Amino acid sequence: MSDWSPEKAIAMEKRHIVEGEMRIARQEAIVANLMEKGRGELLTLAEDLLSAFRESVGLSRERLLYLRNRYGTPPSSGSHS
């Protein structure tokens, strides 16, 4: 028997988005630092990783929208998102 539910899936996507946004912020700081220090050899890798983080958050946002459209927004448990 599966432990999956729309409410759990929506909560998980919200967590993924919040965590992803934190990763993006940290990676943006790393990119800025590498630019400032002229570390071009690492900058490309850092920018690629930043792009992957942004894409991942975008996919989570799309999944959250899909889940909300399909199953509705679950009752609030005191938090707003």
73: confidence class by pLDDT, cuts 50, 70, 90 = confident
1 within a domain of the structure (yes/no): no
Q: Can you give the residue range of the structural domain that contains 36?
A: 6-71
- Domains of the chain: total: 1
49 within a domain of the structure (yes/no): yes
CB 71: neighbour CB atoms within 10 A? 13
| Closest to 51 measured CA to CA, from 11, 21, 24 | 24
Taking only the tens place, the pLDDT of each residue in 8-62 is: 999 999 999 999 999 999 999 999 999 999 999 899 999 999 999 999 999 999 9
76 within a domain of the structure (yes/no): no
Which is higher by pLDDT, 73 or 79?
Answer: 73
The Cα–Cα gap between 66 and 71 comes to 8
81 within a domain of the structure (yes/no): no
44 within a domain of the structure (yes/no): yes
63 within a domain of the structure (yes/no): yes
